[in-house]
Chains A and B, each alone.
Chain A
Amino acid sequence: MAGVGSGYDLTTTTFSPEGRVYQVEYATKAVEQSGTVIGIRCVDGVVLAVENLRGVKLLRPDSLRRIFAVDRHIGIAVAGIGPDGRHMVGRARSEAQNYRSVYAEEIPPSLLAERLASYAHVYSLYWHVRPFGCTILIGGWDASQGPCLYVVEPDGSGYKYRAYANGKGRTAVRTALNKLNFEQLTCTSAVQEIARMIHQSRDIAKDKPYELEMAWISEASDHKFARVPGALVVSSRQAVEEEPQQMETGGSTASADRGETPSTSTHIMEES
């Protein structure tokens, strides 16, 4: 059962001889096992999406959500351990409220991301706590810069992205994301693209059934956090499920990649 960093991987306060903090890396493993989570910044807004796996048959439809509203102009999608994600969302809400009570305006998503990254970082420093087992995607509308997407990882890093994916289907989805033209992509077409990416990243034989959970902060929603209209989600999903599987692109190769270590180079990072 010993891990790769045997002996140096039991607490966050231990470096391995090659300079790695294994406990933080293990926390990211929890993220990689969750249902696929995608965020895309489009020209007219930002879309957050979750492949919400339904392992328990007795669950009610539309429950166990992984996308949360933080303020009227910001939403968070959670990849990884759900309860840890809720903890981060709670923190995000109080940061947003605190900022507003001091400055009487909405918190810029960039600042919220920075504060949450600092918060996550603290949990990677001390022996008496553990890192968060979740990566959070912060989608928001910035008063001056428009739509934006930030991602905070368990190690306490926070970066701005054009598009981001994590979870089981990340490898295939990241490849697909790289092919999008972000200069022209609208939220509505991003919703359809996401439905396709998630569908093609799945192994129909092995994977649990899923619900497609999506929210956006877009011009269509008046720059406010809102669930993507159910009809659009359903039609996008039906469209890809009826389409014949494409063998050469996503389809079969994606299924093989699922769950394996990603190459981080496929991230579409805008700036750090």
Chain B
Amino acid sequence: MFRSQYDTDVTTFSPQGRLLQVEYAMEAVKQGSAVVGVCSATHVVLAALKRSFSDLAWHQRKIVPIDEHIGVAISGIAADARVLTKRMRDECLQHRFVYGDAMPVGRLVHLVADLCQKCTQRISRRPYGVGLLVAGVDESGPHLYQTCPSGEVYDLVGMALGARSQSARTYLERHMDEFSSASREALIRHALWALNETLASAKDQHLSAENCAVGVVSIGDDMRFHLYEHEQVQPLLDACAFPKSGGTATETSTEQAPQNVTDSDEHHDATMQQDTP
């Protein structure tokens, strides 16, 4: 099982200058079900695939509101995500209390990232095994950020995390030039199309009102984060016109790379599934 003698402590550099424990924590992010985020000049949209671990279990929460103007999609260890999202809520409340206005999204994300970094430098902690897509608006417009267990922060126009997310990223990269001018509806469609790419090719898996959640926030008068779940998602899905078979979108099917080639995360799926939404 073990790959080298340098991979058991977070405080140990490999001879190449890598931190393998941190890289393994990044693997945990890939084990959660997929989440997608896209950002236009006016809107940010999050879309998530929710797993249910048994027929008797509720589908897990993948998108959580943080403050009026910020929402987060999580992929990785759910309990770690809860710690971070709680902290984010506290910071937003604190900012409102102190300054009387909404927390700038970038600053919130960097607070969380600094928290993640601290966990990579002491042996008494393990890195947080969760990746966040943070969607929010502030004075400087709409923002989509990604945080990593390493403490790295990315400021993006689109991103997908979680299981089989490579195919969603491929979709996003191919369409990224369209995002900036996209309308609210078009942006939601892009997010759901990308999310649809992450589905296993098995016939029985498809996006539905049960297993899908969408979050939207926009600039303008209503700077609030809206979360659509359950029956509210259905109209959004209906507007997408997915191919019946699921898996690969018709318009891109010819150019689609074989999924398993780009997907290194698939063999991890069996482990830790109980903990990863």
Whether the Cβ atoms of B154 and A63 lie closer than 8 Å is yes
Residue numbers in A under 8 Å from B123 (CB-CB): 127-129
In the complex, how many residues of chain A place their beta carbon closer than 8 angstroms to a beta carbon of chain B?
41
Chain B residues 6 to 37 lying within 8 A of chain A, measured CB to CB, are 6, 9-19
Pick out which of these stretches binds chain B: A21-29, A139-147, A167-175, A243-251.
A21-29
Chain A residues 68 to 111 lying within 8 A of chain B, measured CB to CB, are 81-84, 86-87, 90
Residue numbers in B under 8 Å from A29 (CB-CB): 13, 15-17
A30-53 Cβ-contact flags toward B at 8 Å (1 or 0): 111100000000000000000000
A32 to B17, CA, bound (A): 9
Given contacts A30-B17, A86-B151, contact A130 B11 (CB under 8 A): yes
Residue numbers in A under 8 Å from B120 (CB-CB): 83
Residue numbers in B under 8 Å from A128 (CB-CB): 11, 122-124
Residue numbers in B under 8 Å from A123 (CB-CB): 121
Q: Smallest distance from the beta carbon of B194 to chain A beta carbons, Å?
A: 11
Name the residue on B nearest A2 (C-beta).
B5
Whether the Cβ atoms of B17 and A64 lie closer than 8 Å is no
A4, A5, A58, A81: the one contacting B172 at CB < 8 Å is A58
Q: Smallest distance from the beta carbon of A207 to chain B beta carbons, Å?
A: 18
Whether the Cβ atoms of B15 and A4 lie closer than 8 Å is yes
Whether the Cβ atoms of B12 and A130 lie closer than 8 Å is yes
Name the residue on A nearest B19 (C-beta).
A133
User: Is there a chain A Cβ closer than 8 Å to B155's Cβ?
Assistant: yes
Given contacts A3-B15, A11-B12, A133-B13, contact A84 B117 (CB under 8 A): yes
Chain B residues 207 to 222 lying within 8 A of chain A, measured CB to CB, are none
Whether the Cβ atoms of A83 and B156 lie closer than 8 Å is no
A251 to B250, CA, bound (A): 46
User: Is there a chain A Cβ closer than 8 Å to B176's Cβ?
Assistant: yes
User: Is there a chain A Cβ closer than 8 Å to B87's Cβ?
Assistant: no
User: Is there a chain B Cβ closer than 8 Å to A1's Cβ?
Assistant: yes
User: Is there a chain B Cβ closer than 8 Å to A10's Cβ?
Assistant: yes
Residue numbers in B under 8 Å from A82 (CB-CB): 151-152
Q: Smallest distance from the beta carbon of A211 to chain B beta carbons, Å?
A: 12
Whether the Cβ atoms of A57 and B3 lie closer than 8 Å is no
Residue numbers in A under 8 Å from B19 (CB-CB): 81, 130, 133
Residue numbers in A under 8 Å from B49 (CB-CB): none
Name the residue on A nearest B18 (C-beta).
A30
Name the residue on B nearest A60 (C-beta).
B155
Given contacts A28-B17, A32-B17, A82-B152, contact A129 B114 (CB under 8 A): no
A-to-B contact residues, CB < 8 Å: 1-5, 9-12, 22-23, 26-33, 56-60, 63-64, 81-84, 86-87, 90, 123, 127-133
Chosen A-B contacts, 30 in total, with CB atoms closer than 8 Å, are A1-B4, A1-B14, A5-B15, A22-B15, A23-B12, A26-B13, A28-B17, A58-B159, A58-B169, A59-B154, A60-B156, A60-B157, A63-B155, A63-B156, A64-B153, A64-B155, A81-B19, A83-B116, A83-B117, A83-B150, A84-B151, A127-B123, A128-B123, A129-B122, A129-B123, A130-B11, A130-B13, A130-B121, A132-B121, A133-B13
B-to-A contact residues, CB < 8 Å: 3-6, 9-19, 110, 113-114, 116-118, 120-124, 150-159, 169, 172-173, 176
